[in-house]
Chain A
Amino acid sequence: MASAASSLRTPLIEGAKTPAQVTRDICAVLDRKPTWVWWTGFLCACAALVVGAAAVTYQIAVGIGTWGLNNTVGWAFDITNFVFWIGIGHAGTLISAILFLLRQPWRTSVNRSAEAMTIFAVICAGLFPVIHMGRPWLAYWMIPYPNTRGSLWINFRSPLIWDFFAILTYFTISLLFWYLGMVPDLATIRDRTPPGLRRRFLGILSLGWDGSARTWLHYETVYKMLAGLATPLVVSVHTIVSWDFATSVIPGWHTTILPPYFVAGAIFSGMAMVLTLTIVARKAMGLEQYITRQHIDKMCKVALATGCMLGLAYVTEFFTALYSGNQYEQFVFLNRALGPLSWSYWIMVVCNVGISQLLWFRKVRTNPAAVFVIAILINVGMWFERFVIIVTSLHRDYLPSNWASYVPTSIEVATLVGSFGLFFTCFFLFCRFVPVIAISEVKGVLSVGRKRTVFPLTIAETPAESAQAVLEEKGVPV
């Protein structure tokens, strides 16, 4: 097939696949019995989930006094985890919605798993504010409804309420987007599954999809609409998360740079997570011809770009604080870099701005093992970024007599481990039961980078002419 390859682009999917082969390759994982790799990963994830569930049960039973918080540091581990997970989710929406609007055909190989990652990450993120409430059984008080506590409505001026609506909307739209994108693929699996319970179940989920061109036309339109809605939504969600901090009067939080800084950071961390997951998934499932080095290379470039934006934000933030003439601002930033928690600041800077610079080199970007290590380090760095923003801004506030430090308790660490357990348990189940690559979308981009006949729809005047045009394109002697 090498002779047919276009000189302009390298083909997205390697191995000159036909649509039928695509179906077979991607469904092969679902057909065979789970491998020992899957079982090991799944059981480890389940174990972590059990640890987390036990920790959450304990802290709800005895109260969140089991956390290492004190009067000065009132937000720490849980909100760090919340912002970390919600940020992870954002790359999924970037790949599925923003790259769709920008017409980047390479997204088709990774969008399904990235969207799944978004949904699982948002579930993990949503748990933390609920746990933080201390009395999670009253979480429904966030919903504005006429109640018997006096006709007391929620305070719509509060960023925490904005956050509730933002996350609820984000989760719903992401889930719809993911499910809708999956309907044609579920129909594909339905039609290759022998009759039985599994087929009946797939039949219900695939909504009676029959591949009609009229349905495809509406489907494409809806997909475009949802992508158009999800794009500003993803920006708004992390902007609102940053407002949780920026609308306060805490030095280090009260800055206007926070929204763009948070959004860039979210996409950066999410890209790192997508890379981590896809590098393992392509290897474990033998999908190297679908998620190629080209895909990894492109995602690395997005990560590099957002990483550089983040570096710029770090510098800007520091400079603005020093230049502001406000001694509290100046103190917070010097304290971040040189104070007792400066190790966390330097982990953040080294991982996010330092190590990500390695991605400038093509040799690094095309080496999945190296990218995997870098992506893990970026994830660590991004977790510490949130820790730095939250804890170092709080632990030394206006009054030196209030100064305190913060050390997480084992319960808090177990909750973090549990959230990873939840995330990976969901992800392993996803890999088993759902096609990890959008089959119908990949079929649509098989021709990218390959020679293909383009039918001149508008030029042909008569049926004979148009038929001839096709034949000529195909090189058939007329």
Chain B
Amino acid sequence: MSRRLLVSFFDHEEDILGASCTVREAGFRIADVYTPYAVHGLDKAMGLAPSKLPVVCFLLGLLGAALKVWFEFWTTAVDWPINVGGKPWNSLPAFVPVTFEVMVLCAGVSVVIAFLFVSRLWPGKQAVLADPGVTDHRFVLVIEQADAVFDPIKVHELLKRFHVVRVEERVESEEEAR
């Protein structure tokens, strides 16, 4: 099913913040907002839930650390024990540094992979830009025209208070919808 979208363009951080907040409070559905840099407070203005990526980071880090401790114990105490300076086979304190490093490695690499996965970014992906200037200076608010009573004129009036540069209607085909 294709979506009817109302795309509005802004030039300032405060305007996109105010517009997103107002539009959402007025009961419209924001499809997405595009900004050239991370605008602080925009997630709250849009009503986005916090990212769950820290959970991935924590769990994968923990998994990496656990596997590493097991591996070091298995190689050093079980599979092929070697007497080094008379130290015990299971010299756990000596395993701490490598375990820490492997934990950081697993947590860091996995959180980046998870980020690329949830944000659907990959090498060679063609970016579909809401506006050619969106990675430069332009802020774009995309409102979904969810129901029949949606009145673009009324929304435009609302957005004018936030110095909207221009507003246009677009129809997103099924292929374009991610």
**Chain A residues engaging chain B, CB cutoff 8 angstroms:** 18-20, 23, 144, 150-159, 161-162, 165-166, 168-169, 172-173, 176, 180, 183-184, 187-188, 190-192, 203-222, 225-226, 229-230, 232-233, 236, 240, 243, 440-441, 443-444, 447, 452-453, 455, 457, 460, 462-463, 466-467, 470-471, 473-474
Residue of A192, A208, A470 near B18 (CB, 8 A) is A470
B57 touches A184 (CB 8 A): no
Q: How far is the CB of A109 from chain B (nearest CB, A)?
A: 14
From A153, A155, A221, A455, contact of B21 by CB (8 A): A455
A239 to chain B, nearest CB (A): 8
Nearest chain B CB to A477's CB is how many angstroms away? 13
Contacts of B128 in A (CB 8 A): 210
B contact residues around A213 at 8 Å (CB)? 32-35, 39, 42-43, 46, 48
Given contact pairs A18-B137, A215-B119, enumerate 18 new A-B contacts (beta carbons under 8 Å).
A19-B37, A153-B76, A162-B98, A162-B101, A165-B97, A204-B123, A213-B42, A214-B48, A216-B37, A217-B48, A218-B118, A219-B115, A233-B104, A440-B37, A457-B41, A463-B25, A466-B21, A470-B162
Instruction: Give the CA-CA distance A162 to B100 in the complex, in Å.
Output: 10
Given known pairs A207-B116, A213-B46, the reply for A441 and B37 (CB within 8 Å) is: yes
Asked if B14 contacts A452 (CB within 8 A), the reply is yes
Task: Kindly list the 5 A-B residue pairs having the minimum CB-CB distance in the complex, ordered from nearest.
Answer: A208-B125, A153-B75, A221-B51, A20-B137, A207-B121
> A222 vs B60: C-alpha distance in the bound complex, in angstroms?
14
Residues B38 and A219 in contact, CB atoms below 8 Å apart: yes
* Contact call A19/B36, Cβ cutoff below 8 A: yes
**A187 to B91 alpha-carbon distance, docked (Å):** 49
Q: How far is the CB of B89 from chain A (nearest CB, A)?
A: 10
Task: Given A153-B79, A192-B136, check contact A221 B53 (CB 8 Å).
Answer: yes
B152 at the interface (CB under 8 A from A): no
Assess whether A169 is in contact with B45, with CB atoms less than 8 Å apart: no
How many angstroms between the C-alpha atoms of A369 and B48 in the bound complex? 48
Closest-by-CB residue of B relative to A200 is B124
Give the nearest-CB partner of B112 in chain A.
A176
Q: Is the CB of A463 within 8 A of B14?
A: no
Say whether B136 contacts A222, CB under 8 Å. no
CA distance A290 to B20 in the complex (A): 30
Task: Across the interface, name the chain B residue whose C-beta is closest to A441.
Answer: B37
The answer on a CB contact under 8 Å between A216 and B42 is yes
- Please determine whether B25 and A214 come into contact, CB atoms closer than 8 angstroms: no
Residues of chain B contacted by A218 (CB below 8 angstroms): 51, 53, 115, 118-119
**A-B pairs with beta carbons under 8 Å apart, 13 shown:** A156-B76, A169-B102, A169-B105, A176-B108, A191-B133, A208-B121, A212-B119, A213-B33, A216-B35, A216-B42, A221-B54, A466-B22, A474-B14
Question: Distance (Å) between the CB of A438 and the closest chain B CB?
Answer: 10
Enumerate chain B residues within 8 angstroms of A166, measured Cβ to Cβ. 97, 101
A205 to chain B: closest residue by CB: B123
Closest to B72 in A: A156
A172–B108 touching, CB < 8 Å:
yes
Does B109 reach chain A (CB closer than 8 Å)? yes
Asked if B122 and A440 make an inter-chain contact with CB atoms under 8 angstroms apart, the answer reads no
Considering the chains assembled together, what is the distance between the CA atoms of A229 and B50 in angstroms? Answer: 19
Residues of A within 8 A of B36 (CB): 19, 184, 188, 211, 440, 443
Q: Within 8 Å CB of B18, what residues of A?
A: 455, 466-467, 470
Among the stretches B1-9, B80-88, B143-151, B167-175, the one at the interface with A is B80-88
B108 touches A173 (CB 8 A): yes
| Cβ A229 vs Cβ B107 within 8 A | yes
The CA-CA distance from A191 to B135 in the complex, in Å, is: 7
List the A side residues contacting B109 at CB < 8 Å: 172, 176
Report the bound CA distance from A23 to B134 in whole Å. 12
Choice from A176, A209, A236 contacting B100 with Cβ under 8 Å: A236
**Shortest Cβ distance from A174 into B: residue:** B108
B127 lies within 8 A of A463 (CB):
no
**Cross-chain contact of A157 among B42, B80, B87, B162 (Cβ < 8 A):** B87
Give the docked Cα–Cα distance between A156 and B88 (Å): 12
Cα A170 to Cα B30 in complex, Å, equals: 40
Q: How far is the CB of B97 from chain A (nearest CB, A)?
A: 4
A268 → B minimal CB distance (Å): 23
Task: Establish whether residues B124 and A203, one from each chain, have CB atoms under 8 Å apart when the complex forms.
Answer: yes
CB of B67 to closest CB in A, whole Å: 12
A471 B161 Cβ-Cβ under 8 A: yes
> Within 8 Å of chain A (Cβ to Cβ): is B63?
no
Give the chain B neighbours of A443 by CB distance below 8 A: 36-37
Please indicate the chain B residues that have their CB under 8 angstroms from the CB of A212 in the complex. 32-34, 119
Q: How far is the CB of B161 from chain A (nearest CB, A)?
A: 5
In the complex, the answer to whether B127 meets A210 with C-beta atoms within 8 Å is yes
Residues of A within 8 A of B166 (CB): none
A191 contact from B22, B112, B129, Cβ within 8 A = B129
B17 with A455: CB separation less than 8 A: yes
Contact across chains for B123 and A229 when beta carbons are under 8 A apart: no
